[in-house]
Amino acid sequence: MLEGFLQQYLRLYRPLISSLNELLGKYNLSYSLWQVIYYIKHHGPSTLVEIAKRYSVEKPTITRRVSCLEDLQLVEKIESRDRREKLMQLTPKGEELYAACRKEISNLEREILEKLSENELQSFFETLSKIRQQLAEKEGKQK
Amino acid sequence: MLEGFLQQYLRLYRPLISSLNELLGKYNLSYSLWQVIYYIKHHGPSTLVEIAKRYSVEKPTITRRVSCLEDLQLVEKIESRDRREKLMQLTPKGEELYAACRKEISNLEREILEKLSENELQSFFETLSKIRQQLAEKEGKQK
DNA sequence: TGATATAGTTACCTAGGGTAACCATTTAAA
DNA sequence: TTTAAATGGTTACCCTAGGTAACTATATCA
């Protein structure tokens, strides 16, 4: 019964990420850029290290993503006491784009999940989160 | 409630795929190579197009994966009536490696899922499969 | 027999992330 | 307070993995 769990889980990844990238592509974004916008929107002005930690990627990855978003004028740096760090916030244009994409992503989610009951969804969420915890513990042990 | 579903789902991907790749790396494999071995093991001698369809990737992707597995002497071509196609099967070495990896992957799955009840798992599987169906329908419509 | 479809390959390109080495600034310690 | 260590960020270089277009070889259908 357990066997094949990972297969089942991973099989969904490619179709989901391509749906998202197709959607976000219309705004010159990709899911990896969206993650940064999403993080800043939900945590307020953020440093690159914060964002990197959240998504378990290295700093250079976030440097790249952020500089790309700067080029698109969707985020901007604001002053902070610590002059090493780069505190980023959304520009008005960034806020607009967030709202537009948020709407479309929610529609996509609704479409994909429409056949599922409230209970099913609830329990799916919980399972995901338990697995994440378990994985985190496992990682923790290895160090 | 719906909002953020995708985030939750996708957040698990990186840690899972890296656990797997770490595990498979010990055998000079990666998850994408493993998929091919897995497919052939479970479907018998297979053509590249079959494999490509199953994983929703393009043909050149599978050409690359397969030729890599040939270099590792894990798969080999067998004759088929249709001389255009390349029917691949596992070599004895490939079978051995399948068994070894299968064992380790099952252990990993057990570790990750140990805290979940039979019911929880069952319903998680079902939800995954419903979502996949829904997505397939959606794709179908677009064509 | 000729047109069309199918299986596979090659060459080229892109996205996305990691590592190592490096600044600049801040914090802690001597 | 001056020096050493830690932290935030960037740069350069490399790797993995996949897509597209163009092509060959074979098979099928009209």
H or E element in which residue A87 lies: strand A87-90
- The predicted model gives B34-55 an average pLDDT of 97
Residue A3 pLDDT exceeds 80: no
In chain B, domain spans = 11-115
In angstroms, the CA B105 to CA A106 distance is 34
Residue A4 pLDDT level (bands cut at 50, 70, 90): confident
State which fold the B11-115 domain adopts. Arc Repressor Mutant, subunit A (1.10.10)
For residue B138, the model assigns a pLDDT of: 75
Query: Could you tell me the CA-to-CA distances from B97 to A114, A116, B16, B43 in Å, in that order?
Result: 41, 39, 21, 17
pLDDT, residue A143, reads 37
* D chain positions with any atom within 7 Å of a protein CB: 7-12, 16-21, 25-28
Q: Which of B1, B2, B56 to mutate to test the interface with A (most CBs of A within 10 A)?
A: B2
Query: Is strand C less than 7 A from the beta carbon of A56?
Result: yes
Hits for CB < 7 Å against strand C across B residues 48-87: 48-50, 59-60, 62-64, 66-67, 82, 84-87
Q: What is the ipTM of this complex?
A: 0.89
Class of domain A27-114: mainly alpha
Residue B142 is predicted with a pLDDT of 54
Distance (Å, whole) CA B55 – CA A15: 10
